[in-house]
Amino acid sequence: MPGMSTRPVRLIALMNQKGGVGKTTTTVNLAAAFARAGRRTLVVDLDPQAHASLHLGVDSATLERSVYDLLLDPSLDAGGIIRRATENLDVLPSTTDLAAAEIDLAAEPDRLKRLEAIFAALGDRYDHILIDCPPSLGLLTLNGLAAAREVIIPMQAHFLALQGVGKLMETVRLASRSFNPRLRVLGVVLCMHDPTSTHAREVVADLEGFFEAGRDQDTPWRYARVLRPPVRRNIKLAECPSFGQTIFDYAPDAPGAQDYAAIAEGLTREWDALVAKLASAASPAPTHAQVSTPGRQAPVASPGAEASA
């Protein structure tokens, strides 16, 4: 058996430039679901609002150092800044001064690659790293897209959603063309979903049509889809951040816990199948397009070059 050290780290950025769509809720609770399944998981809070930190019980007002300091100097020891949230679940917290990073780093030639450098220094300490991006497409989100391999778009099934998704895909395409060719869009997580709404169903159908229409084109969203199940609107999900708890600690039987656990399970099944194939494949490692996953014609993403190391 190849050692655990050859296992690729799963790097997922959760992004949407629209505010309040469920990015942080999805990042924190998907990460918690992975952690509960035994994966060593890190949440990176890339938002100066520091909501993910708070959600995981870290009050950013009390922190001396945060992801901001690491972005300015990736040679700092991340271990001294990362906080433990629950078993298998850590957070690299944010503080409000992160808002200055854009200006502080403006003149640095490697300003897009700072988060990637932080991850490189972490080595194989984590199985999964989830990045909670801010609601903008600035330097912080671009650092997330440079450091990630996979992208998840949390969103609500509203009528302007499709237009927003088109713009997001163009941003991902730009990132993939200019600095991260391995970037792949996993898909959309529908947040605050109302399954009884006809309108929501129409928007979901439109989204699926958009993804289907791109299947034969070489884009980062070629294999993207609407991830199942949608996350139902559930007041417990809105309550748990103020207790500094994930949904699994706050209300483990709530619909929100069931939905995030089910999404995580599906993602993990595909990931494990993909990693197993990459590990058993002869050199050179199969490319993204050559590996297939159960129940699908194509993989969700290539775990990247680490798998062939």
Ligand X SMILES: Nc1ncnc2c1ncn2[C@@H]1O[C@H](COP(=O)(O)OP(=O)(O)OP(=O)(O)O)[C@@H](O)[C@H]1O
Residues that bind Mg ion (CB under 5 A): 23-24, 51
Residue 36 binds ligand X, judged by CB under 6 A: no
135/266 with CB nearer ligand X: 135
Residue 93 binds ligand X, judged by CB under 6 A: no
User: What separation in angstroms does the CA of 151 have from each of 175, 238, 272, 283?
Assistant: 11, 23, 17, 27
| Torsion sign across C-alpha atoms 33, 29, 51, 22 | positive
Q: Which does 231 bind (CB under 5 to 8 A by kind): Mg ion, ligand X, none?
A: ligand X
Q: Which residue is nearest to Mg ion (CB)?
A: 24
Alpha-carbon gap, residue 290 to 307, rounded angstroms: 14
Minimum distance, C-beta of residue 17 to Mg ion, in the bound complex (Å):
12
Q: Which does 234 bind (CB under 5 to 8 A by kind): ligand X, Mg ion, none?
A: ligand X
51/113 with CB nearer Mg ion: 51
In degrees and rounded to multiples of 5, residue 184 shows phi and psi of -135, 140
Number of neighbouring beta carbons within 10 Å of residue 3 = 7
Tell me which of 10, 36, 39, 51 binds ligand X, using CB under 6 A. Answer: 51
The residues with which 10 forms a beta bridge, in sequence order, are: 128
Burial class (CB in 10 A: 0-12, 13-18, 19+), 55: buried
Minimum distance, C-beta of residue 144 to ligand X, in the bound complex (Å):
13
Nearest to 22 by CA among 206, 288, 237: 237
Residue 50 binds ligand X, judged by CB under 6 A: no
Q: Judged by CB under 6 A, which stretch of 43-51, 78-86, 210-218, 296-304 contacts ligand X? A: 43-51
In degrees and rounded to multiples of 5, residue 146 shows phi and psi of -75, -30
9/131 with CB nearer ligand X: 131
Alpha-carbon gap, residue 226 to 213, rounded angstroms: 14
Characterize the bridge pairing of strands 10-14 and 128-132: parallel
Q: Which does 29 bind (CB under 5 to 8 A by kind): Mg ion, ligand X, none?
A: none
Residue 157 binds ligand X, judged by CB under 6 A: no
Minimum distance, C-beta of residue 31 to Mg ion, in the bound complex (Å):
13
Q: In what order do the strands lie in the sheet with 128-132?
A: 83-86, 89-92, 41-45, 128-132, 10-14, 150-155, 184-190, 225-226
Residue 15 binds ligand X, judged by CB under 6 A: no
Give, as ranges, the residues between 53 and 82 that touch ligand X (CB under 6 A).
none
Minimum distance, C-beta of residue 1 to ligand X, in the bound complex (Å):
39
Residue 233 binds ligand X, judged by CB under 6 A: yes
Residue 91 binds ligand X, judged by CB under 6 A: no
| Residues at the contact surface with ligand X, assessed by CB under 6 A | 19-25, 47, 49, 51, 135, 191-192, 231, 233-234, 237-238, 241, 256
